[in-house]
A and B are shown apart, each in its own frame.
Chain A
């Protein structure tokens, strides 16, 4: 079953084409939407919410047509925008209760739901204070809470980890994973960072310039992007030569080497090479894939 499906979806603005005959389907669970700035991610979400009419093509969300059933869709989905969207002078509790009521919940139900979701996103006593005094991490939690307030079937999260420190990022990703699994709410989450999405998504869609670049299960992605970053104190050059000679795929990225992994023996080969050359191995880690890597691979025809 498709939670979300588009067919030849095109959106033209006076000066740019934001979406170019995009045909894609999304199933239940957590789906990542990856693309550079201006790739059309936010435009796609706005069309899905029924806020922006497509120039041509069709889109269905929860089996409802975005053109004619926008109001019913907005009743059943939640939306967390990328930008700041919180008034500073009200408390998180008052704000989330208000937005739950705006989604159609009666007053008492809205209060209960607001208390529930604020607890789930991890806001404790501070929820009674005005939002203006919150840290970025706390604001992101309030933004997420308002999207969950009315118990939607599907939520759109636009860059939810933007501006968070590493710990806040981990907590946010953990929460997104829980929303998709435990809460049973389907999630469409956008990001610049593929590595981040690898940790929480079941499926990843990559778009660029409004076109679909790739749509596949996360398992296929990680197989295709198995590589490790190797950093040594000095002697990067001899190490690269040694690894190439051993038949490994090596590319240079500044001070580091990116080595394709063919199996556990690859790690042994890197370790042995470093020992043989008497190098000081600083880092050996699973490569964090950036969206650019996928583009490079796509262009190379991988």
Chain B
């Protein structure tokens, strides 16, 4: 093989771009990894299967609008109705974004380059956020385009659509930072999937139990707080307070700035966990 070596070495004289370029390159690389692009075929099955399932209700909704002039589902309720699929997507793909770098110890290769720990975290969070946003926003947009083409009686619900898109972004950011924080605690991918799924199921199961208990005690006002235990209803509560949409919960949500404050507090907590986790990993 030695003849292959015998081609002279060429130095690189071109530009060397800044850290912003590196962070963007990392975000794009991670996003490709989340959808299994540039990976073996089996890595593509799960993300694309789940993305397809997300689109199905949009297709059904368009069909219903065309045939019986009725909406199957409102834009503002889409994320809450489809929450299980979004959660499975998060649980199966968040570990893909963080676990390999920890498990196969690729992290030192990144950190021996200009990129810093906060930039590494920001790139991973952006990639996961874009991925979750995409699987919610694409069906919403398909439904909206369908509505415009079918031309239902009355004005199109553009405002509700844009509100739902904005909330999809908030939801994506919230669940992505949380999912990554949980997944980054273990270098094992399977364990990451299990822990994200377990936390989601816990928040899903806690809501009806707490709600039913408090309602039976006649504490209706307190019972409304139960919905905020689950990230999807929490973001729906934010949507209701910001855009005045119909609540997707029994009995509505507590009024006031509480949902917004809880979202901010949870984001801060998740980013704190990620930062602590990677500071520790970098020091090793």
Question: Chain B: which residue is nearest A182 at the CB level?
Answer: B9
Contact with A along B99-126 (1 / 0, CB 8 A): 0110011101111111110000000000
Closest to A93 in B: B38
Question: Does A271 count as interface, using CB distance less than 8 angstroms?
Answer: no
Number of interface residues of B (CB under 8 A): 40
Q: A94-B38, A122-B1 are in contact. Are A103 and B104 (CB under 8 A)?
A: no
Given A130-B40, A150-B16, A178-B5, A84:B22 Cβ within 8 A: no
Chain B min CB distance to A77 (Å): 8
Query: Per a CB cutoff under 8 Å, which of A81, A105, A119 touches B16?
Result: A105
- Considering the chains assembled together, what is the distance between the CA atoms of A81 and B113 in angstroms? 13
A 155-199 to B, binary, CB cutoff 8 A, 1 in contact else 0 = 000000000000000000001001000111000000000000000
The answer to whether residues A74 and B14 also contact, given A87-B100, A182-B9, A183-B9 and a CB cut-off of 8 A, is no
- A104-B104 in contact given A150-B12, A178-B5 (Cβ < 8 Å): no
For residues 60 through 80 of chain A, which have their beta carbon under 8 Å from a beta carbon of chain B?
71, 74-75, 77-79
Contact A101 B4 (CB under 8 A): no
Tell me the minimal C-beta distance from B90 to chain A in angstroms.
20
Would you call A104 and B17 a contact (CB within 8 A)?
yes
Cα–Cα, bound, A260→B139 (Å): 80
- Alpha-carbon separation in the docked complex, A131 to B115 (Å): 24
Q: In the assembly, what is the distance between CA of A182 and CA of B14, in Å?
A: 20
Known: A74-B114, A89-B43, A99-B109. Contact between A151 and B12, CB under 8 A? yes
Q: How far is the CA of A150 from the CA of B104 in the complex (A)?
A: 22
Residues of A within 8 A of B16 (CB): 75, 103-105, 150
A contact residues, total (Cβ < 8 Å): 44
Is A212 close to B, CB under 8 A? no
Q: Is the CB of A87 within 8 A of B40?
A: no
Tell me the interface secondary structure of chain B in the complex: loop
A70 → chain B closest CB, angstroms: 9
**Are A102 and B26 within 8 A (Cβ)?**
yes
Residues of A within 8 A of B101 (CB): 87
Cβ-neighbour of B21 out of A74, A98, A101, A116 (below 8 A)? A101
Given A74-B112, A130-B40, are A87 and B4 also a contact pair (CB < 8 Å)? no
Chain B min CB distance to A232 (Å): 37
Q: Nearest chain A CB to B166's CB is how many angstroms away? A: 32
Partner of B9 from A85, A102, A120 at Cβ < 8 Å: A120
> Chain B: which residue is nearest A117 at the CB level?
B9
* Cross-chain contact B114 with A71 (CB below 8 angstroms): yes
In the complex the two chains form, what is the Cα distance from A184 to B10 in whole Å?
10
- B-to-A contact residues, CB < 8 Å: 1, 4-5, 7-12, 14-19, 21-22, 25-26, 29, 38-40, 43, 100-101, 104-106, 108-116, 282-283
Known: A74-B112, A74-B113. 14 other contacts (CB 8 A): A51-B111, A85-B109, A90-B39, A99-B109, A102-B25, A103-B22, A103-B113, A104-B114, A105-B12, A119-B4, A120-B5, A120-B7, A151-B11, A183-B9
